[in-house]
Amino acid sequence: MTSSDKNTDNIISDGSYVLVVLNEHKRWVTKVESGKQFHCHKGFIEFDEVIGKPYGIRIFTSKSTAVSIYKPLQIDFLSKISHSSQIIYPKDAGLILLYGDIKPGSRVIETGTGSGGLTSILASYVRPNGHIYSYENREQAFKTSTNNIKKLGLNDAITLKLQDAIEGFDEEDVDAIVLDLASPEEIIPHAYSSLRSSGTVSIFIPTYNQIERTYHELKEYDFGDIICFETIKRELQLKTNAIRPQTRIIGHTGFLIFARKRTKMVQK
Amino acid sequence: MTSSDKNTDNIISDGSYVLVVLNEHKRWVTKVESGKQFHCHKGFIEFDEVIGKPYGIRIFTSKSTAVSIYKPLQIDFLSKISHSSQIIYPKDAGLILLYGDIKPGSRVIETGTGSGGLTSILASYVRPNGHIYSYENREQAFKTSTNNIKKLGLNDAITLKLQDAIEGFDEEDVDAIVLDLASPEEIIPHAYSSLRSSGTVSIFIPTYNQIERTYHELKEYDFGDIICFETIKRELQLKTNAIRPQTRIIGHTGFLIFARKRTKMVQK
Amino acid sequence: MTSSDKNTDNIISDGSYVLVVLNEHKRWVTKVESGKQFHCHKGFIEFDEVIGKPYGIRIFTSKSTAVSIYKPLQIDFLSKISHSSQIIYPKDAGLILLYGDIKPGSRVIETGTGSGGLTSILASYVRPNGHIYSYENREQAFKTSTNNIKKLGLNDAITLKLQDAIEGFDEEDVDAIVLDLASPEEIIPHAYSSLRSSGTVSIFIPTYNQIERTYHELKEYDFGDIICFETIKRELQLKTNAIRPQTRIIGHTGFLIFARKRTKMVQK
Amino acid sequence: MTSSDKNTDNIISDGSYVLVVLNEHKRWVTKVESGKQFHCHKGFIEFDEVIGKPYGIRIFTSKSTAVSIYKPLQIDFLSKISHSSQIIYPKDAGLILLYGDIKPGSRVIETGTGSGGLTSILASYVRPNGHIYSYENREQAFKTSTNNIKKLGLNDAITLKLQDAIEGFDEEDVDAIVLDLASPEEIIPHAYSSLRSSGTVSIFIPTYNQIERTYHELKEYDFGDIICFETIKRELQLKTNAIRPQTRIIGHTGFLIFARKRTKMVQK
């Protein structure tokens, strides 16, 4: 890919998604449509005024308020596609990429799909040669995620399955498995069976109670190098001469357990 | 890549790197060499006994202690290549990937290279089509990182430069810039100049004092969507009937600032 | 004090303050008045029904909702008397008691008084023989705190002064000084002058910027054993089979600096 | 107490305890003995040189290193008397004082005594009219704590009992009960029985597993207003132009549960 290709990529066109930022709290991912407008409480902008311009421009609304028009980051789409309460946070998705060693070329099983938020993050990092196989047993969630993944243009990297993980996975020798569902401990045997040796399992768990059950099942199935941790994200107030942590924060999202598949002991 | 390819990949061979795990605290990344041995205080293993076996096997040392032999994750290499005090933590690298939107295909400038730890993480996530241009002005660090990157087989995705970032970058229209050096505020003008519009800058900062200076410089250069946060990682003790956070932890690594390049205001 | 005295103390009477608890979030400190009622959105209770009963009883409102009627803890009064945004949190007040060594018998200077929240906590722990001298330069705050302290019956342990701390303190040889005002660094010289040797200064600071300024001034005035820390309070959700940290928390209240007065070096 | 009394109190005398501070990490509580010396790796000081001087002085050791000689805070004694792994931290003791409403005049039951660290803190805050009844079933701990409490001169405010809490408490109508022992859930019935109505129970718990069991027992015994939280203490590095949280910290001490005794429902 040459620099001039990049420049072409970087121009807003009809049908592009953009992130419109009014301020820290007011921000929207929206699709550019020629002849239409984007409306917020601070006025509107004509999409035709931004088509052909580079991402990153600032423009005034009809009420003379400046807004910035960015190319959405992959994580900007999370707020758009996840309307349910159960959303993955970027901080946790980043940990799953690194501790699960999910990277370009990885073949990954995920369950459950939910609205497809984590699926979309994983898919964007295994491309172009890797693949995500995502299992979901609730029909409504399957429909929502199918729709979301299509909008994001990630179909080629994702196979969505309306299938209950409790009945096992169709894939074998995958590099990594990600469990983000109510009873992960029940899926451990299937995870063991579908992973390649030395492959990783990454488990997202909201409550303490599940940690012990899941840990026991992982030991039972001969997973090794089992670790569990959480991260607390603390945003800072950026204000001249008054830098300080924010008063109100999200104090908990979930615990993460990581483990690696071992094979039978070599006897001496 | 087919499943059978994967299986071939998954066999330990002469020259492979492996992660040998004795327990939670005793673990080493080492290179397999036919005819040689791996030694620790719990005995040794003959590399010839593991060559041809799958990653993930367990084996007994000469003193009858079981060890696990894993395929190293990308982050397992960090402990091997970073002997300096200034190391990047996986939790922070994961945030830089997601909030910096660094993914397969991204062209990224990084400075400084240091021992190449963060460089190696970034490179492994932009492959096969992206590239990392990494600047370092200290000759010793340049040599160390050159050596490390070669060992990891990441040369094709990384260009290391023995060059001071204060004199500017050679690349244009890059997707993201990562600053992890003593005075990031001095590099902001060059970062602005080399980024494509709407591209991201990610800055790692250890002390409070630098936050304000860097924030002011970012505003001065018309970066938008500036956010700053840190994460605190809390590992848990996994012990039956006694699940609890660890007593001693790393309580601070650094603050992260993220911002996006904006272009001139469109006048109405 | 005998056990039977305690029992008399423990009976709700006309004029007593009570804490009415409907649930975790709905709770009120109120004064019992014979012939009157307490109203909330779940109905009302007649005060005459609780007069003569022990604290700790549960009773039904007119709409058949159970409420608990407790004797307020000292910290329960904080929510009643502090309507301003700048309130002290019990977690920080507890640290000031212990790291400031403020205990029964201590003579303490505090500034600023604010609405009297921290003043009331300190006073309740230095009684019966200690005393709090509290300085406030804003007339409105002085009136509010005077009113609050009177209601709480803590007048004998507190002297409120409508006086600017910048002009110095009237007291000498006090055991501890507590600074909770906008520019604590300006008061350090007066704090040094009014403390007994080896006495403590406790400083509450919301932003990073003030830490360095205050630290320098403390060193300048020969304070020793200077430490600075903060605590992050994490409340847990108590729900059967779903114990977990709360999602939304107060992530920051302020930093605390503690130091002790030293005297001139003894020359050998 | 007059100011001149305070001055007399503030003079180091034969038999006084002092806190000798060499630096942030090297500090010792020791007893002043005429004719003897205090030794550390940086030389010694003659106690006779400090007798008659005010607390807070600085003095040179025989090797010309400056040390500060402070009057110990109550919490400075914790490091002296607690040699066991199970120590109470000041941050948690402060929370127990405030959320348990333990203050001058309070009658309090505590179990277990351990080496007497928390006992000494509680006693110093209920004086002169309150009292601590502390239960311990291990003979060695009973002896250690008896010795420690005597040294600290807190005998008049504390009754130590070599008695197992599981067999119940001798006191009635106490204001507060503090549980810091292996199976607090087993003591809940006795705590309920010995508390005055509306009195508080404060429970220190190191692991998640115990939270749920204790919570259920508290509900079973009609305790109300049950809350659970922990605090994470983060110390800051105070260094000019490099203010930052410390890298290595104590990330977990324990969880605290607080509840209040309710009495039977008043029927309408």
DSSP state letters, C94-154: HHHHHHTT--TT-EEEEE--TTSHHHHHHHHHHTTT-EEEEEE--HHHHHHHHHHHHHTT-
Which of D210, D249, D255 to mutate to test binding with chain B, by most B CBs within 10 Å of its CB? D249
Other C-beta atoms lying within 10 Å of the C-beta of residue C40: 17
Counting Cβ atoms within 10 Å, is residue A115 exposed (0-12), middle (13-18) or buried (19+)? Answer: buried
CB contact under 8 A, B212 and C209: yes
Counting Cβ atoms within 10 Å, is residue A132 exposed (0-12), middle (13-18) or buried (19+)? Answer: buried
Q: What is the pLDDT of residue D80?
A: 81
Q: Which two tokens stand for residue C192?
A: 């040094």
Percent of chain A whose predicted confidence (pLDDT) is above 70: 94
| Pair C110, C141: CB distance under 8 Å | no
Distance CA D96, CA B190 (A): 54
Q: What is the pLDDT of residue A1?
A: 35
A215 phi and psi angles, rounded to 5 deg: -60, -45
| Pair D44, D61: CB distance under 8 Å | yes
Question: Taking all residues of chain B, what is their mean pLDDT, rounded to a whole number?
Answer: 93
The dihedral built from the CA positions of residue B217, B220, B221 and B225, taken in this order, carries a sign that is: positive
Under 8 Å CB-to-CB from C175, ≥6 apart: which residues? Answer: C101, C102, C106, C107, C108, C195, C196, C199, C200, D6
| Pair D75, D121: CB distance under 8 Å | yes
| Residue B159's pLDDT band (cuts 50, 70, 90) | very high
Q: What is the pLDDT of residue C86?
A: 64
Distance CA C215, CA D240 (A): 9
Write out chain D's pLDDT in tens, 268 residues: 333 344 568 999 999 999 999 998 899 999 999 999 999 999 999 999 999 999 999 999 999 999 999 999 999 999 888 665 567 899 999 999 999 999 999 999 999 999 999 999 999 999 999 999 999 999 999 999 999 999 999 999 999 999 999 999 999 999 999 999 999 999 999 999 999 999 999 999 999 989 999 999 999 999 999 999 999 999 999 998 999 999 999 999 999 999 999 997 755 5
Interface of chain B toward chain D, CB-CB under 8 angstroms: 206-209, 232, 234-235, 241-253
Give me the residues paired with residue B160 across strands.
B134
Q: Give kind and range of the element (H or E) at residue A257.
A: strand A255-261
Distance CA A56, CA A20 (A): 10
CATH code 3.10.330.20 for B3-70: yes
Torsional class of C49: left (φ above 0), alpha (ψ -120 to 50), beta (otherwise): alpha
pLDDT tops 90 at residue A106: yes
Closest Cα in chain B to C212: B209
Beta-strand (E) ranges in chain D?
17-21, 27-31, 37-40, 43-46, 57-60, 66-70, 107-111, 131-136, 158-162, 174-179, 195-205, 223-237, 244-245, 248-250, 255-261, 265-266
pLDDT in tens, D150-189: 999 999 999 999 999 999 999 999 999 999 999 999 999 9
- Going by C-alpha positions, the residue among C45, C77, C50 that lies closest to residue C60 is C45
Average pLDDT over residues A71-76: 95
**Secondary structure (3-state) at A193:** helix
Give chain C positions within 8 Å (CB) of B208: 208, 211
Q: What is the pLDDT of residue C248?
A: 95
Angle (nearest 5°) at CA A130 between A124 and A135:
80
Average pLDDT over residues B18-47: 95
Nearest CB among C206, C242, C247 relative to A251 is that of C247
Q: What is the pLDDT of residue B88?
A: 87
Q: Find tokens 């909008």 and name the residue.
A: A151
pLDDT tops 90 at residue B4: no
Q: What is the pLDDT of residue C1?
A: 35
Nearest CB among C68, C229, C264 relative to D224 is that of C68
Task: Locate all alpha helices (DSSP H) within chain C, ordered by sequence.
Answer: 3-9, 47-50, 76-81, 90-99, 117-126, 139-151, 188-194, 208-220
CB contact under 8 A, A243 and C206: no
Distance CA A151, CA D135 (A): 66
How far CA D176 is from CA of A182, B101, D188, in Å, comes to 40, 54, 13
How far CA B267 is from CA of A62, A63, B219, B260, C258, in Å, comes to 12, 13, 20, 20, 54
* Selected residue with higher pLDDT from C83 and B51: B51
What is the residue extent of each domain of chain D?
3-70, 76-261
pLDDT tops 90 at residue A24: no
Q: What is the pLDDT of residue B24?
A: 86
Distance CA B133, CA D170 (A): 74
Q: So what CATH class is A76-261? A: alpha beta
- Going by C-alpha positions, the residue among A179, C234, A25 that lies closest to residue B234 is C234
**Secondary structure (3-state) at A252:** coil
Torsional class of A58: left (φ above 0), alpha (ψ -120 to 50), beta (otherwise): beta
Q: Which two tokens stand for residue D236?
A: 């800051």
Give chain D positions within 8 Å (CB) of A211: 208
- Going by C-alpha positions, the residue among C205, B245, A32 that lies closest to residue D206 is B245
Closest Cα in chain B to C207: B208
CB contact under 8 A, B211 and C211: no
CB contact under 8 A, D252 and B243: no
CB contact under 8 A, C209 and A241: yes
Average pLDDT over residues B169-193: 97
| Pair D106, D173: CB distance under 8 Å | no
CB contact under 8 A, B209 and C211: no
Which of A205, A207, A208 to mutate to test binding with chain D, by most D CBs within 10 Å of its CB? A208
Distance CA D51, CA B90 (A): 55
| Pair B233, B259: CB distance under 8 Å | no
pLDDT in tens, A112-142: 999 999 999 999 999 999 999 999 999 999 9
Give chain C positions within 8 Å (CB) of A232: 232
CB contact under 8 A, C246 and A232: no
Distance CA C114, CA C144 (A): 8
Q: Which two tokens stand for residue A65?
A: 């308020």
Identify whether D128 is preceded by a cis peptide bond (ω within 30 of 0): yes
How far CA B62 is from CA of B31, B46, D26, in Å, comes to 19, 9, 44
- Going by C-alpha positions, the residue among A194, A102, A113 that lies closest to residue A161 is A113
Distance CA A1, CA C116 (A): 66
**Secondary structure (3-state) at C209:** helix
Under 8 Å CB-to-CB from C3, ≥6 apart: which residues? Answer: D172, D173
Q: What is the pLDDT of residue D86?
A: 64
pLDDT tops 80 at residue B165: yes
Identify whether A128 is preceded by a cis peptide bond (ω within 30 of 0): yes
Percent of chain B whose predicted confidence (pLDDT) is above 90: 88
Give chain C positions within 8 Å (CB) of A242: 206-207, 209
| Pair D51, D31: CB distance under 8 Å | no
CB contact under 8 A, B244 and D252: yes
Which string of DSSP letters, residue by residue, matches chain B?
--HHHHHHHTB--TT-EEEEESSSS-EEEEE--TT-EEEETTEEEEHHHHTTSBTTEEEE-TTS-EEEEEPPPTTHHHHHH--SS----HHHHHHHHHHTT--TT-EEEEE--TTSHHHHHHHHHHTTT-EEEEEE--HHHHHHHHHHHHHTT-GGGEEEEE--GGG--S--SEEEEEE-SS-GGGGHHHHHHHEEEEEEEEEEE-SHHHHHHHHHHHHHTTEEEEEEEEEEEEEEE--TT--EE-SEEE----EEEEEEE--PEEP-
Average pLDDT over residues A236-251: 94
Distance CA D58, CA A82 (A): 62
Give chain C positions within 8 Å (CB) of B211: 208
Write out chain C's pLDDT in tens, 268 residues: 333 344 568 999 999 999 999 998 899 999 999 999 999 999 999 999 999 999 999 999 999 999 999 999 999 999 888 665 467 899 999 999 999 999 999 999 999 999 999 999 999 999 999 999 999 999 999 999 999 999 999 999 999 999 999 999 999 999 999 999 999 999 999 999 999 999 999 999 999 989 999 999 999 998 999 999 999 999 999 998 999 999 999 999 999 999 999 997 755 5
Give chain C positions within 8 Å (CB) of B212: 209
D30, amino acid identity: T
Average pLDDT over residues A63-82: 92
Q: What is the pLDDT of residue D4?
A: 39
pTM, two decimals, is 0.95
- Going by C-alpha positions, the residue among C238, C182, C166, C227 that lies closest to residue C200 is C227
Nearest CB among A57, A232, A262 relative to B266 is that of A57
Percent of chain B whose predicted confidence (pLDDT) is above 70: 94
Q: What is the pLDDT of residue C64?
A: 94
pLDDT in tens, B218-260: 999 989 999 999 999 999 999 989 999 999 999 999 999 999 9
Q: Which two tokens stand for residue A209?
A: 């109670």
Q: What is the pLDDT of residue D1?
A: 35
- Characterize A25-43 residue by residue with b for buried, 16 or more Cβ atoms within 10 angstroms of its Cβ, and e for exposed: eebebbebeeeeebebebb
